Amino acid sequence: MPVDEFGLIDRYFRDAGAQRADVLTGIGDDAAVLAAPPGELVVATDTLVSGVHFPEGSPAQSIGHRALAVNLSDLAAMGATPDWALLALTLPAADEQWLEGFAAGLSALAREHGVALVGGDTTRGPLCVTVQVLGHVPAGTALLRSGAAAGDLLFVSGTPGDAAAGLAIEQGACNASGAQRDYLRQRFLKPTPRLSLGARLRGLASACMDVSDGLLGDAAKLAAASGVAVEIDYDSLPLSPALRAVCGDSRARELALAGGDDYELCFSVAPPRLPQLLARLPPRQWHYTQIGRLTAGGGSRVLRGGTVMQFSHPGYRHFG
């Protein structure tokens, strides 16, 4: 039975994601019609390419999850609440089993965050997934990269480096077993967009971005956007027990600094706001750690015992 592009979208995606009353016209027309959200619109798009952003042969469910998660992570970094998503899916063939897994992965995450899938396009070609997400923030409250000032403290959520180790395990480049292997693989295959944390940082963080290309490189981007320098304390990097056990302390810190795909939030807070941050978002409950500070000047440095360390690889770059 031939399955055409419209049939595909109908069958696998029509009921994907959350049902929302503000979707006036969803999948199936030339475009979606949506009741405008309160405040300001926040929109992002990210693409996953097979063999570049995930290993060829990755589980379809993970690809569906990650395609949405990396976009939701962008909204989290703005402090935004997600509302809707569109999916542009390019596939070499209409593999129904693959589509079922992909849709399940995407849909479960969408429902978890109340996101409706309102449109898309399915085309034939090398596997490539682009998702667009739309959300909102109260007017004037979006968290930007550019708001940090010298003296602000720098934080990161979660335990960066885990996803890079998980990817290395997926690729057979790292040995691990048991629960540690499972944990690290899942941090790559099923990252958690930090939407609740991002939304609660509105009015508290001076700047925020998500860590997708490596903490050191991304923190440097935040600092550059804010016109300041960044210092990261090597010994403050939060490491998961699994990462340290599998990679050793030194390699674990290297991955925490330069590994990609973590989708944690890196944010700055002005010192006078610190008591409010700690009260509103207890660190043990919200899993974030102070890792450094922003200073006058430019560039990025990693410090250990007051000494500047040297790293050659600042993060993952396409065409680098």
Span of 41-49, 183-191, 284-292, 301-309 interacting with a copy of itself by CB under 8 A = 41-49
Q: Is 145 in the site for a copy of itself (CB under 8 A)?
A: yes
Q: Which is nearer to a copy of itself, 221 or 251 (CB)?
A: 221
Smallest gap from Cβ 28 to a copy of itself, in A, equals 7
18, 69, 115, 134: which one binds a copy of itself (CB under 8 A):
134
Q: Which is nearer to a copy of itself, 135 or 160 (CB)?
A: 135
- The continuous run of DSSP H or E covering 101 comes out as helix 96-112
Collapsing DSSP to helix, strand or coil, 301 comes out as strand
Q: Which is nearer to a copy of itself, 45 or 290 (CB)?
A: 45
Q: Is 42 in the site for a copy of itself (CB under 8 A)?
A: yes
Span of 127-135, 161-169, 243-251, 284-292 interacting with a copy of itself by CB under 8 A = 127-135
Span of 79-87, 148-156, 243-251, 300-308 interacting with a copy of itself by CB under 8 A = 79-87
Give me the residues paired with residue 134 across strands. 43, 84
Q: Which is nearer to a copy of itself, 47 or 196 (CB)?
A: 47
Burial 107-125 (b: 16+ CB within 10 A, else e): bbbbeebebbbbbbebeee
119, 161, 193, 214: which one binds a copy of itself (CB under 8 A):
119
Distance CA 85, CA 66 (A): 13
Q: Which is nearer to a copy of itself, 129 or 164 (CB)?
A: 129
Q: What is the DSSP letter of 37?
A: P
The structure tokens listed for 129 are: 């997934």
10, 11, 20, 43: which one binds a copy of itself (CB under 8 A):
43
* Residue 256 · residue 239 · CB < 8 Å: yes
Q: Which is nearer to a copy of itself, 33 or 278 (CB)?
A: 33
Distance CA 32, CA 245 (A): 48
Q: Is 225 in the site for a copy of itself (CB under 8 A)?
A: yes
Smallest gap from Cβ 140 to a copy of itself, in A, equals 9
Between the CA of residue 108 and those of 65, 264, 312, what are the distances in Å? 8, 20, 39
Q: Is 34 in the site for a copy of itself (CB under 8 A)?
A: yes
Total residues interacting with a copy of itself, rule: CB under 8 A: 77
Distance CA 24, CA 104 (A): 24
Convert 236-285 into a string of H (helix), E (strand) and C (coil).
HCCCCHHHHHHHCHHHHHHHHHHCCCCCEEEEEECHHHHHHHHHHCCHHH
Q: Which is nearer to a copy of itself, 78 or 189 (CB)?
A: 78
